[in-house]
Amino acid sequence: MDGEGTERFEQAGANMKTDLDLLALVRRGDPAGATGLFEKYSAALLRFSDRMLSNRAEAEEITQEVFLKMITRVEQYDGRAAVSSWLFAIAANACRDRLRRSRRATVVPLESVAEAPSKAEPVDHRVQERERRQAVRQALARLSEEQREALVLARYHGMPYADIARTLQITEGAVKTRIFRAMETLKEIFAEGGSQWNAMTS
């Protein structure tokens, strides 16, 4: 195998590293580990934090904070949960701390973190889409912290109930209860406005 082929093979191997492999690099002080995990999970953690706080700037701070804590507390990872669940747990705790400090009575929704719409899309459709997303964010803000974080992890990040339970350090039964109550509350909120709740519209 020539030099170029060897380099491509080694790069492919690097791209196939598991989360545990990357965390092992973090433990050894190799920046490639933190970089790999950041590239893999930063976007999802930003979306999660933004939906919890409805504040993009604070969500970006939380995302950076998660990876700083991951590096400084890497020895605390005990392997009982997936690395991704551990990172979301750090984010959830950071969001709770931020909400407690701010003592918000209401949360002001911001623009969606999702991909920007196509420029070819009609302006009126974009406005309608933005308003719809903001309405969903306002509704999410009316949930309790506990209900919101369980719902966001399940509906927006596709996390299984068992993983949510480990992330939030509660039972699976509690996860199901929180999501059920959140869905019922959201249905009531949207019924007030004459529309139906769709968990994937934010």
The answer to whether position 202 is within a domain reads no
The answer to whether position 197 is within a domain reads no
Separation CA 21–CA 69 (nearest Å): 18
The answer to whether position 200 is within a domain reads no
Q: pLDDT of 17-30, one tens digit each?
A: 899 999 999 999 99
Under the banding of pLDDT at 50, 70 and 90, the label for residue 188 is confident
Q: pLDDT of 90-129, one tens digit each?
A: 999 999 998 888 754 344 343 333 444 445 556 666 666 6
The answer to whether position 199 is within a domain reads no
CATH code at position 127: 1.10.1740.10
Structure confidence at residue 14 (pLDDT): 45
Structure confidence at residue 71 (pLDDT): 95
The pTM for the full model equals 0.70
3-state secondary structure 42-87: HHHHHHHHHHHHCCHHHHHHHHHHHHHHHHHCHHHCCCCCCHHHHH
Q: DSSP assignment, residue 29? A: T
pLDDT at 149 over 60: yes
Pick the closest to residue 133 from 42, 46, 43, 54 (CA basis): 54
In the predicted model, what is the mean pLDDT of residues 74-101?
92
The answer to whether position 201 is within a domain reads no
Q: What distances in angstroms separate CA 92 from CA 50, 52, 126, 150, one per listed residue?
A: 11, 8, 31, 10
Q: Quote the tokens at residue 16.
A: 């196939």
Cβ atoms of residues 107 and 143 within 8 Å = no
In the predicted model, what is the mean pLDDT of residues 124-148?
78
What is the number of domains present in the chain? Answer: 1
Q: Percentage of the chain surpassing pLDDT 70?
A: 73
- Its domain, for residue 38, covers 3-192
